[in-house]
Copies of this chain bind each other. A is one copy, B any other.
Amino acid sequence: MNSSREILEKVKEGSMSVEEAELFFKKEPFMELGFAKLDSHRGIRSGFPEVVFCENKPDEYLVSIYKKLFEEEGMVFGTRASKEQYELVKKELPEIEYDEVSRILKAGTGVEPKIGRVAVCCAGTADIPVVEEAAQTAEFFGTEIDRVYDVGISGIHRLLSNTDRLLKANCVIAVAGMEGALPGVVAGLIENPVIAVPTSVGYGAGFKGMSALLTMINTCANGIAVVNIDNGFGAGYLATQINRLAERTRT
């Protein structure tokens, strides 16, 4: 899992042979499956392989994409999978594993070693599916995670008594539904970026997360990056990018 720049730098430094490097670059830029074009250069370009968004994918497409990516990359990672999809893929790819809470469907242990530190926190227990999607995404791509759950603002002492854990992280993912105020409070306490994830949890006028999204977009606190409603994956991805930057010269 290396970007093209890193590969070239390693070649230059001599830490990678020309032959090894060539393997990366002789890949076709995408694999044509007819109904899909799998982006095989994505790992080279971004440092992350292509990830599968499972929801609503027709069954036969899903299975062939999982098989193809696993063959090519030796690992495969997807989100929003149903239990039925897990069972279908398992028939063709016995290495596959499924987590019912986060709905992540993956094969392989992901990027090793796990480095740096990202704290993930959520406001209530109903936010756990989303926060776990974030946490497990970041872990799969090589990030050390610290979980701080159920620290919503209606009992703010639960959050304040964990401030030290938030302060130690390279960045914090803060997940909240209903009014979505948690990320703003966290951002007021720490120095590093906060990634805010609205969830669709709540009563009627929450509009399935829109209210929480607006709260996070409008917060008066500084240093907040907002992603889409229930998009734990996006938060985990962004946190991994920031964590890698923070750790790149330390490892």
Contacts and interface: CB of A to CB of B under 8 A. Distances in A.
Contacts of A47: 191
Contact of A222 (B3, B51, B170): B51
Contact of A5 (B37, B167, B181, B198): B167
Given A150-B36, A193-B242, A245-B245, A218 B228 contact: yes
A72 to B, nearest CB: 15
A221 to B, nearest CB: 4
Interface string A38-70: 010110011110110101111001000100000
Given A201-B56, A230-B203, A185 B193 contact: no
A124 interface: yes
A105 interface: no
A179 interface: yes
The copy count of this chain in the complex is 8
A211 interface: yes
A154 interface: yes
Interface of A: 3, 5, 29-30, 34-37, 39, 41-42, 45-48, 50-51, 53, 55-58, 61, 65, 101, 123-126, 128, 149-158, 161, 167, 170-171, 178-181, 184-185, 187-193, 195, 198, 200-231, 234, 237-238, 241-242, 245-246, 248-250
Contact of A29 (B152, B161, B228): B161
Contact of A215 (B149, B170, B179, B224): B179
A9 B206 CA distance: 40
Contacts of A227: 217, 224-226
A124 B220 contact: yes
